[in-house]
A = this chain, B = another copy of it.
Amino acid sequence: MSGERVRRAPDTRLSSAADVAAAAGVSTATVSRTFNTPHKVAAPIRARVQDAAERLGWTANAAGRALASSRSYIAGAVIPTLDDQIFAAQVGAMQAAFATAGITLFLGCSNYDQTQALVHVRAMLARGVEALALVGEAYPEEVFTAIKARRVPYTVTYTHRPDSPHHCVGFSNRDAFHAITRHLLDLGHRRFGLIIQPTQDNDRVIARVAGVRDALDEQGLGLRLRHVHEGPWSIAFGRTSLRAIMQADGPRPTAIVCGNDYLAIGALLEAQALGIRVPTELSITGFDDVAMASQTTPGLTTMWIDNAEIGRLAAQDLLACLAGETPAPRPPLATTLIGRGSTAVVPHGQGG
């Protein structure tokens, strides 16, 4: 059977532009033009080619097309995880925006692991992405050198630092948490607890903690170690953390800042389970404004970010790059404090 040493059995071969050309009685150049620059082909010939293509079920082979035109019509997004709605929303909107421009999106989840992120970026570059969006900027240097070596436009999302070397589409995580903390300070709170996601390899969470500390520091206040809990962003971790904080020795905090709404909902539920009245005895804040945040009793004071808008704008800027433009640096996006029932003025005599 050595006669069969062909790359692909003949009966398995898909039709090529040459087949279509033959069927339509034209050259492959005309086939190409029919689909890429139809106005350059006479109508009757165009019709003949389209007909032949349809009959043969032909669509241009992506590899050949990419090789000849050096366009892949592919972009890539690297996010920590789809389990968190905020990234899911971002990717969904980005995918939609790219799709309207004829660009298909690769998805890579790093699971908050820099190494996995690097592997995804490498794989995407190797597959010829024309643009790349990355959540955050806490990546190994090689991520950025590899991207730059390929001259692929990229943007960093969900975060914004004025002095970042990268194009950013996001908000200042530090300022957002500074504002939340200020809100509580303005209500008279002086003793704070903090329940937050893992800071490891996560520039956004690190910035959030800095925002809280800065706001407190401006008032000469600080966080006690036993009132700070760092762990998985789950309702369960919110519960156990709240319990631990409220049962620790010494004066209790009157306000708990949480890194996201899940942690805050957990804290709220646990406070209620402990018989601590919210907001009378304890104020609690979240972040993200998930659907449940408005449904708890009391409603959760939180901060709303337009994650879909982040995805859309990131795609928009990257598409501009592909069009040869240089998008202007973006100012940080707005964050909106949503005041609900879970925060109130500090209990009488506790404003110390």
List residues of A whose CB falls within 8 A of some B CB.
Answer: 7-8, 12, 14, 57, 59-67, 70, 72-74, 81-83, 85, 88-89, 91-92, 95-96, 99, 102, 104-109, 111, 116, 119-120, 122-128, 146, 149-151, 234-235, 262, 265-266, 269, 291-292, 295
Contact = CB atoms under 8 A, between A and B. Distances in A.
A123 B96 contact: no
Copies in the complex: 2
A151 B13 CA distance: 10
Nearest to A56: B149
Contacts of A83: 85, 88-89, 92
Contacts of A14: 149-151
7 contacts: A14-B151, A62-B63, A63-B66, A85-B88, A88-B88, A95-B109, A235-B291
Contacts of A91: 82, 107
Nearest to A67: B63
Contacts of A295: 235, 265-266, 269
What 4 pairs between A and B have smallest CB-CB spacing? A63-B66, A63-B67, A82-B88, A82-B92
A23 to B, nearest CB: 16
Given A104-B108, A295-B265, A81 B92 contact: yes
A208 B67 CA distance: 47
Contacts of A105: 106-108
A60 B126 contact: yes
A14 B82 CA distance: 34
Given A91-B82, A149-B57, A8 B70 contact: yes
Contacts of A95: 82, 107-109
Contacts of A106: 74, 104-107
B66 A62 contact: yes
Contact of A99 (B57, B64, B120): B120
B108 A99 contact: yes
Given A89-B82, A89-B83, A104-B108, A64 B67 contact: yes
Contacts of A235: 291-292, 295
Nearest to A60: B126
A283 B92 CA distance: 35
A266 to B, nearest CB: 8
B72 A63 contact: yes
B62 A72 contact: yes
A127 B74 contact: yes
Contacts of A81: 92
A127 B81 CA distance: 25
Interface centre among A88, A102, A109, A111 (most CB of B within 10 A): A88
Given A63-B64, A96-B109, A99-B116, 20 more contacts: A14-B149, A14-B150, A60-B126, A62-B127, A63-B63, A63-B66, A63-B67, A63-B72, A64-B67, A82-B88, A82-B91, A85-B85, A85-B88, A99-B108, A99-B120, A102-B123, A104-B123, A105-B106, A105-B108, A107-B107
